[in-house]
Structure 1
Amino acid sequence: MNKKKPKILITEPIPETVIKHLREFGDVTVGEKGLFQSEENLLEEIEKFDALLCMLSVPVSESVLKKGTNLKVVANFAVGYDNIDITAAHSLGIKVANTPDVLTEACGDYAMGLLLALSRKLKEAEKYLRNGNFDGWEPLGFLGMELRDRNLGIIGMGRIGQAFANRAKAFGMNILYHNRSRLDLNTESRLDAKYIKDPIKLAEQSDVLSLNCPLTESTFHLVDTDFLKHMPEHALLINISRGAVIDEAALAEALHDNVIAGAALDVFEKEPGVHPRLLSAPNTMLLPHIASATHRTREDIGMLAAEAIISVLNGKDDNEIPNLITP
């Protein structure tokens, strides 16, 4: 008799190559887009499954984990995992994995793209042309910030922060950073980066400030009204980390009041919701969480999550499970 295949829930459509790979191993169910962003919907279904491959937007709470009596592994289709109750998972013996590394280069490219578009007012200029207002070259039209010799402050100098720093350095920017722990001297030298212990001091010195940090108790609403007041009036803010690192109401007011000159945001505290005052803020780019949106990267993310699931369900030791999050 054939061994019963494990049941795997993928909470919404992902690259077909990943789904096909998992179907060679288990009985795979793929949810509709957004269906399992509801904890109630997840609670109704989770006890059927041995493995969960989920998005960052899926609330894998203690209640969900306890209801998942057959659940052996949760693999997040993301670097972050603040949507998962890690403590509860470990106490229940459920393995948790994420997908670092594979997003690094795509996110580094994207952060640089946001900076170029924001600093040179590309969105506004294109809208101006499309609206039929372009009637000839203007010497004072859409003047922006030249990046050479400007200070780029990075909060969170992990893999993605360093990838962005490498790109910005090629544009002649000076790299300043704040991190939970200082980088080793060799890495600082390679990036030509200066460590600033106090994030407020970093804000004061940054022409551009990029958020590349995880969401923790210390980074929740790190960028608030007081923080923004310490930034130069010409400064630009970029966030591709987690939405809740910014107090969005405070940022919206700062943009409307010209406390800072602009912002480019790829993430939001209550996705897919966006603070309404941000929608009308000047010199603001708002993007729908697409920093890792390349064909190669999204497939790599899925495959990494799939391999973690297969490894756990095959009974491999913890040291053989890709990107296992340990207690």
Structure 2
Amino acid sequence: MPTKRLSVVVTRRLPEVVETRLKELFDVRLRDDNTPMTRAELRAAMQEADVLVPTITDDLDANLLAQAGDQLRLIANYGAGVDHIDVESARQRGILVSNTPGVVADDTADMTMALMLAVTRRIPEGLARMKEGNWEGWAPNALLGTRVTGKRLGILGMGRIGQAVAKRARAFGMQIHYHNRRRLREETEAQYEATYWESLDQMVARMDVLSINCPHTPSTFHLLNPRRLALMKPEAVIVNTSRGEVIDESALVRQLENGGLGGAGLDVFQRGAEINAKLRDMPNVVLSPHMGSATREGRIEMGEKVIINIKTFVDGHRPPDLVVPSML
């Protein structure tokens, strides 16, 4: 008798190669369109599946998890961030949670540098002139930006992505500073010639560019609050490719409006796709639609990690990328 295959529900469209492999291995229900599931659809999926494969757009809170079927035993998240999942509530119900860490560090670091250069060198403004046919030729004082070479870069969160940013920024001749929950080893600091700041307040007040690379947790929510933003240099630039909730977005807008900051490059936003309209109108703000990890290679590798986590679970072992509350 053939063994009954594991029931897996995928909440969003994934790369075709990933969907095909999932279909080969498991009894999979794939999403027909590329829109997020409604709350009712998520509830139904959790009452049906042995394994749920959600993404960041699926808010799996305690109330929803309480309605999951008894057969749901693994939430194999497609993505590294798990702030949309109540991991503690899942654990209490005997549901494991896995994620896909480390896959998109280089992709996100590339986007961080792209946004940094876009803001400091005013690339979108120049592009707009070219697209609109308003360029009147080269002029000595036209669209003057600032160089990043020699500037101090403060990295908030020196994990895989933060270190990938440091590696790239060093190649641009930037001076690396960082604030982290734990100080790095001496040899790692030496690798990036990085200066550690125990006090985030003291670091942000001295930086020319601040890169946000920490996860969103209760302790990092609005870590950049009005008081901390006011400490920054008026010419400083903030780049955020992590989570929008780390910055008090309303306070950021006020600082930019009042000339308290030189600019911002934002790939993530406090309310997801609901962007503060004032940010769109600011010439010194560059916005991108949460595409920091959006490479074909990265998306496929994320899917491969999901598959490995599910297969390991099916084989009766601990998923290699298991998330536990103490990690958060």
The Cα of 1:60 is off from its aligned counterpart by 1.3
Q: Give the distance between the partners of 1:275 and 1:42, measured in 2 at CA.
A: 28
The residue number in structure 2 matching 1:153 is 154
For residues 86 and 229 of structure 2, the distance between their equivalents in structure 1, rounded to whole angstroms, comes to: 31
Alpha-carbon distance, 1:40 to partner: 3.0
Q: Secondary structure at the match of 1:189?
A: helix
Which residue number corresponds to residue 121 of structure 1? 122
Shift of 1:35: 3.0
Q: Distance in 2 between matches of 1:125 and 1:75?
A: 43
Structure 1 residue 281 displacement after superposition: 2.4
Partner of 1:235: 236
Deviation, 1:104, is: 1.0
Whole-Å separation in 1 of the counterparts to 2:252 and 2:23: 45
State the match for 1:60 in structure 2.
60
Moved more, 240-249 or 57-66: 57-66
Give yes or no for the alignment of 1:287 onto 2:294: no
The CA distance in 1 between the partners of 2:60 and 2:315, in whole Å, is: 23
TM-score by length of structure 1 reads: 0.95
Whether contact under 8 Å (1:206, 1:231) holds in the other structure is yes
Gaps of 5+ in 1: none
Q: Contact between 1:95 and 1:312, CA under 8 Å: does it hold in 2? A: no
Q: Measure how far apart 1:282 and its partner are.
A: 3.0
Measured in 1, the distance between the counterparts of 2:145 and 2:36 equals 42
Q: Distance in 2 between matches of 1:177 and 1:25?
A: 43
CA RMSD of aligned residues (A): 1.3
Q: How many positions carry a matched residue from both structures?
A: 323
Matches within 5 A, 1:99-110: 99-110=100-111
Q: CA deviation at 1:314?
A: 3.0
Deviation larger for 292-301 or 105-114 = 105-114
The answer on whether the counterparts of 2:103 and 2:302 sit within 8 Å (CA) in structure 1 is yes
> Structure 2: which amino acid aligns with 1:184?
R
Corresponding position of 1:204? 205
1:166 aligns with 2:167: yes
Which structure 1 residue ranges, 4+ long, deviate > 4 Å from structure 2?
none
- Structure 2 residue 300 is the aligned partner of structure 1 residue 302: no
Amino acid at match of 1:179: N
Q: Deviations over 1:2-58 (max 9, x none)?
A: 33222211111011111111111212112232332x323311332111111111121
Deviation track 1:122-172 (CA, whole Å, cap 9, x = no partner) reads 001110121121111010111111111110000000010000001001111
Verify: 1:325 aligned to 2:323, yes or no.
yes
Deviations 1:60-118 (A, max 9, x none): 12233232222111011111101111111111111110111111111111111111111
- Residues 200-219 of structure 1, C-alpha deviation per residue, up to 9 Å, x if partnerless? 11111100000001112221
- The amino acid that maps onto 1:66 is A
Contact 1:155/1:211 (<8 A) preserved: yes
In 2, Cα distance between equivalents of 1:90 and 1:216: 17
Measure, in 2, the Cα distance between the counterparts of 1:180 and 1:14: 33
Q: Which amino acid in the other structure matches residue 301 of structure 1?
A: M
Residue 187 (1) aligns with residue 163 (2): no
> What TM-score results when the alignment is normalised by the length of structure 2?
0.95
For the residues of structure 2 that align with 1:113 and 1:160, how far apart are their CA atoms? 14
**In structure 1, what residue type is equivalent to 2:297?**
R
Residue identity in the other structure for 1:46: M
Aligned residue identity for 1:246: I
1:18 matched to which residue of 2? 18
- The residue that corresponds to 1:82 in the other structure is 83
Deviations 1:245-266 (A, max 9, x none): 0111111121122110110111
Q: 1:253 maps to what in 2?
A: 254
Contact 1:79 1:99 in 2 (8 A): yes
Give the stretch that moved more between structures: 178-187 or 4-13.
4-13
Contact 1:220 1:245 in 2 (8 A): yes
* Alignment match, 2:224: 223
Residue 300 of structure 1 aligns to a residue in which SS?
Answer: helix
Which amino acid in the other structure matches residue 323 of structure 1?
Answer: D
